[in-house]
Structure 1
Amino acid sequence: MADKQEHQQQPHGHGHHFLVVAYGMQSHVNPGRALAHRLARLSCIDGRPILATLSVPVAAQRRLFPSPTTMVDKEACSDGVISYVPHSDGFDDGASAPKTAEDWARRRRATAASLSAVVARFAAAGTPVTCIVVTMVGPAMVDVARDHGIPFAVYWIQPAAVLAAEYHYFHSYDDDHARAREVSLPGLRRPLPVRDFPSFLVDTTGSVLAKVITEMFRELFESMDRWRPKVLVNTLEELEAGVLAGMRRHLDLVAVGPMLGASADDARIHLFEHDDDVDKKRYMDWLRARPDSSVVYASFGSVTKVTRHQMGEVAAGLRQCGRPYLLVVRRDGLQDDDDESSSSLHVPLGSESCQQGMVVGWCDQLEVLSHPAVGCFVSHCGWNSTIEAMASGGVPIVGVPDSFDQPTNAYLVEEEWGVGIRTGRNSDGVLSGTELARCIELVMGDGARAVAIRERMKGLKTMAQAAADTGGSVETNLRHFVKTFQALEP
């Protein structure tokens, strides 16, 4: 940690205790849990074990441990590697969520008070927290760290290019940039179009959510400028070497990706209803019956909601491409159209299958992407999904970005790394089935571009798996991160 962050002396029985605090979304919880597991499997240079705890909001904790026999309502529970301690964000019932600026302020106050109590309980029990790791959107967590004199680190769960775009926005953005169509960022081969910045930064609708998120990130960058914490970035050094080098002039970055877990025991967890073992066997058996690299896998993540008309176009495009497909239609992932009469296309719901394809409510994405039958991933380009496509199966991507960091990620996939194609939308903002089928063919066909995309993605898979393996760069860089604390001990 930098000199400006105070340090607590370690207890005798163990080394450091990392409290990883994650926002209650699957895209935050899974990489947060993977990081905590990775840290807990290390040891300090003097051989003492490291403790790691994951803290998520109460509502998310209840979804993590839905069985009434678990210890979810107690102060802590464990999976044998890390402990789990919930904190209250003021919306514990899970049915409500912050909507207004006042709601978000209430959430921050509740989170700070609850986490402060968590930190105090650990100290009283003789296992004081020695570092709070914040998954990006966490001003309340920084407040707690500073109030208790505990060093904090930022866990940037998106690519370094998104970090660079946001750093640029909060440090250089002015009226001239607002009128610009593209911005040159260090390490990118081409200027990044402003329209491909994270969506909340370029929002023109007056969305309360966009304003709140922008202000939270502004405060986070102010904290990083002031306190100079370590910033753990879920990316590969080789993948974004230029961007990381450019940003290291401003921030203390450590590349720790791909953060997919250190073993099969760290498999992804789901914060919502998902398929049981019977359903899983059904779609895995279906995949096993398909030729290698023949299946189009389509899924739009855990947050994005798709209109019924849009999902109908997706289904039509998959049928039009003539290839076998596995389509995920999340049970809570459809939203009604403004004009329901506009949708005359069939919208698949629940689990159904036909001779060409299969529709499921959810699936084990890591296992599906790792299956040799899968040859293309139609994705919203969330960073978890993007990095899983690289590291698990080396599967080319057809990008259908919607919001948050997805437009930037889709730009990187197509323009910077050349491992996929980004779809276009019509004047109504709809991806047509014809356009989807065209893009799938560009990735899965026999043309020179398709061949080049597949070869580049295979190279990234090799690179990512080497980084994630025992003794790879993920483990090496995390050990260096832990040793930074060790050097500060009296």
Structure 2
Amino acid sequence: MDNNNDSSKSLTGPHFLFVTFPAQGHINPSLELAKRLAGTIAGVRVTFAAPISTYNRRLFSKENVPETLIFATYSDGHDDGFKSSTSSDKTRQETAGRYMSEMKRRGRETLTELIEDNRRQNQPFTCVVYTILLTWVPELTREFHIPSALLWVQPVTVFSIFYHYFNGYADAISEMADNDPSGSIKLPALPQFRLRDLPTFLVPENPYSFLLPAFREHIESLKQDENPKILVNSFQELEQEAFSSVLGNFKIVPIGPLITPRTDSRSGAEYIQWLDTKNDLSVLYISFGTVVVLSKKQIVELCKALIKSQRPFLWVITEKLHTSKEEENEEESIRSFTEELDEIGMVVSWCDQLSVLKHRSIGCFVTHCGWNSTLESLVAGVPVVAFPQWNDQMTNGKLLEECWRTGVRVMEKKEDEEVVVESGEIKRCIEEVMDEKAEEFRRNTARWRDIAAETVTEGGSSFKHLKAFVNEHIVPWG
């Protein structure tokens, strides 16, 4: 170690290694942070490591990056990509469990090689930044005596919920789920939460609750670090109370919003040309991301709501990462409504979301409340119909509606063991955002848009936090 440190004195600053989980919600903010570090802070070098499968699937672009940012790979054990093959919850759990286990095994092996190669080349890493679910990464960095930081790609409110769940509130939340599902709970320095506001991993019957131990591992792993740091893709002004909720236990550093501004507006794209023909604030933009798969029943209800509303819409239906052979895809589900939908809207398989949200014609974003999409709605200043599906999206929906007051959340119903939002409820929410409370929501979103822009510019809170974080990792020369 000493020899490596001595020989690195000729280098010009800290060398960060970013290790990201292979999902869009992890890759996008990680890459944006890597670009900011490499492109705006003098002397910083960054190596961005993602699984081989993400490069094969082209989940991100390596274009327009600073010279001091280079790309590397590690193996997750599925270099050709991972896809579940059944709709059975039990089998999905087993398959995902095997995937996580194999990722840990192969990830440790290949990341060890990367760390050792850089040492041999006299370019050692001075800090490792890793995302959620990669609990094996800090274990590895401790073996190499390299400082690390967790990049939390969800709101700090959600981190606080997990922390309190594992530190005294698990029984209370489980009891509420079993005996009083319409009740609520108050956690330290956080708003009042109903069961429907909490991350779904906390509910025992949720098919993905098996991932809950990974969040416990994160918290326990952080406690083992001498100076545990969590970089959060949020900003101080947005979640003031939540940042103080666990402040005494970890150093939480808000450095967001980590949203990539587009230099290419794709003005020639067909969907942009279509939006150009529409009136200001008249179009609904609809997207449920790359993971969420809506049931056929839910797709039907959404189609009915759009037809009843008769408002122009742009609906993005992407190829989902984890659909099974047994599941009907979303495009097939809307086929019977194609003629009526084509008269009022447009369905596309992909779009530049931030460019769309910033288009003058967009009046409302119907969103699954993924954290990246949530932040983009705030950055663009667009009111939302919150349509959360799972995990942190439930909490994000509550924050949007009740804390930041930038939209309204749909109310779901349970039908034959399936949770569905009916067409009348969807239409009601659209009308509330586009008509009844439009002025109030637009005023609130404009406020958050301006604050979000200020916080990442020089002198802003997130800018200063990020610069201070980098300064902590500058190796003293001489």
Q: Contact 1:324 / 1:356 at 8 angstroms: preserved in 2?
A: yes
**Letter of the structure 1 residue corresponding to residue 202 of structure 2:** L
Is the CA contact 2:307–2:341 (under 8 Å) kept in the aligned structure 1? no
Give how far 1:338 is off: 8.1
Change (3 A) 1:136 1:395: same
Aligned to 1:274: none
1:139 pairs, out of 114, 135, 138, with 135
CA contact (8 A) 1:395 1:454 kept: yes
1:178 counterpart = 2:179: no
Whether 2:44 is the aligned partner of 1:50: answer: yes
Q: CA deviation at 1:100?
A: 5.2
User: How many angstroms apart in 1 are the aligned matches of 2:451 and 2:125?
Assistant: 34
Question: What TM-score does the superposition give when structure 2 sets the normalisation length?
Answer: 0.87
Whole-angstrom CA distance in 1 between matches of 2:337 and 2:125: 48
Deviation at 1:60, TM superposition (A): 0.6
Q: Which residue of 2 aligns with 1:3?
A: none
Aligned mates of 1:11, 1:231 — CA distance in 2: 27
Quickly say closer, same or farther: Cα 1:200–1:144, change in 2 above 3 A. Answer: same
Aligned to 1:219: 217
The alignment's C-alpha RMSD in Å is 3.0
Higher alpha-carbon deviation: 352-361 or 26-35: 352-361
Per the alignment, in what secondary structure is the counterpart of residue 485 of structure 1? Answer: coil
Secondary structure in 1 matching 2:150: strand
Say which SS state the counterpart of residue 166 (structure 2) adopts. helix
Question: 1:109-188 counterparts in 2 under 5 A?
Answer: 109-180=105-176, 181-188=183-190
Among candidates 368, 371, 374, match of residue 383 of structure 1:
371
| Most deviating of 28-37 and 416-425 | 416-425
Q: What residue identity is the alignment partner of 2:147?
A: P
Alignment of 1:301-380 (within 5 A): 301-332=289-320, 346=335, 354-380=342-368
Alignment-mate amino acid for residue 462 of structure 2: V
SS in 1 for 2:445: helix
Alignment partner of 1:88 is 2:81? no
- Whole-angstrom CA distance in 2 between matches of 1:251 and 1:409: 22
**Structure 1 stretch 159-168 or stretch 179-188: which is displaced more?**
179-188
Partner of 1:432: 422
Aligned to 1:63: 57
SS of the aligned residue for 2:253 comes to strand
Contact 1:11–1:128 (8 Å) recurs in 2: no
CA contact (8 A) 1:352 1:359 kept: no
* Structure 2 equivalent of residue 415 of structure 1: 402
Distance 1:170 1:29 in 2: 27
Cα distance per residue 1:95-119 (max 9 Å; x no partner): 4467153442222111111111111
Deviations 1:280-316 (A, max 9, x none): 6111011111111111100001111112332222122
| SS of residue paired to 2:284 | strand
Report the CA distance between 1:444 and its aligned residue: 0.8
AA aligned opposite 1:198: P
Q: 1:66 to 1:184 in 2, by over 3 A?
A: closer
Instruction: Flag the 1:242–1:363 CA change in 2: closer, same or farther, 3 A.
Output: same
Partners of 1:331 and 1:35 lie apart in 2 by 26
Residues 487 and 348 from structure 1, CA distance in 2 versus in 1: closer, same or farther, beyond 3 angstroms? farther
**Whole-Å Cα distance in 1 between the matches of residues 214 and 352 of structure 2?**
32
**For 1:127 and 1:35, how far apart are their aligned partners in 2?**
21
Deviation of 1:193 (Å): 1.7
TM-score normalized with structure 1 length: 0.85
Matches within 5 A, 1:219-298: 219-227=217-225, 228-261=227-260, 264=262, 281-298=269-286
Pair 352,155 (structure 1): closer, same or farther in 2 beyond 3 Å: farther
SS at 1:86 equivalent? strand
User: Secondary structure at the residue paired with 2:80?
Assistant: coil
Of residues 433, 436, 440, the one that matches 1:443 is 433
Letter of the aligned partner of 2:187 in structure 1?
L
Provide Cα deviations, 1:232-257, integer angstroms capped at 9, x if missing partner. 11111111111112321221011111
**CA distance in structure 2 between the partners assigned to 1:80 and 1:366 by the alignment:** 25
Query: Which among 33, 44, 66 is matched to residue 31 of structure 2?
Result: 33
User: 409-418 or 88-97, which moves further after superposition?
Assistant: 88-97
**In structure 1, how many angstroms separate the alpha carbons of the residues matched to 2:333 and 2:293?**
19
- In structure 1, how many angstroms separate the alpha carbons of the residues matched to 2:66 and 2:59? 11
SS at 1:441's partner residue?
helix
Cα gap change, 1:103/1:327 in structure 2, threshold over 3 Å: closer, same or farther?
closer
Pair 52,66 (structure 1): closer, same or farther in 2 beyond 3 Å: closer
Say if 1:258 and 1:203 are closer, same or farther in 2 by CA, change over 3 A: same
Q: CA deviation at 1:353?
A: 6.8
Tell me the amino acid that sits aligned with residue 32 of structure 2. A
Does the 8 Å CA contact 1:78/1:84 hold for their aligned counterparts? no
Following TM superposition, by how much is the alpha carbon of 1:203 offset from its aligned partner in structure 2, in angstroms?
3.5
| Structure 1 CA distance for aligned equivalents of residues 334 and 128 of structure 2 | 49
TM-aligned CA distance change 1:420 to 1:104, over 3 Å? same
Identity of aligned residues (%): 32
User: Matches of 1:60 and 1:339 in 2, distance apart?
Assistant: 25
Shift of 1:331: 3.4
Match of 1:106 among 91, 99, 102: 102
Q: Does residue 201 of the first structure (1) align with residue 202 of the second (2)?
A: yes
Match of residue 179 from structure 2: none
Q: Aligned residue for 1:271?
A: none
List runs of 5+ in structure 1 lacking aligned partners.
Answer: 1-6, 72-76, 269-276
Quickly say closer, same or farther: Cα 1:460–1:203, change in 2 above 3 A.
same
SS of 2:244's equivalent?
A: helix
SS of alignment partner, residue 95 of structure 2: coil
SS at match of 1:166: helix
Residues 286 and 315 in structure 2, CA contact (< 8 A), matched pair in contact too: yes
Other structure's SS at 1:486 match: coil
- Asked whether the 8 Å contact 1:305–1:335 carries over to 2, the reply is no
Separation (CA, whole Å) in 2 of partners of 1:394 and 1:373: 13
8 A contact 1:376–1:395 mirrored in 2: yes
How many angstroms does 1:80 deviate by? 3.3
Question: Contact conserved, 1:315 with 1:347, CA < 8 A, in 2?
Answer: no
Mapped partners of 2:289, 2:334: distance in 1: 22
Q: 1:389-410 CA deviation, whole Å, 9 max, x = no partner?
A: 100x200110111112100100
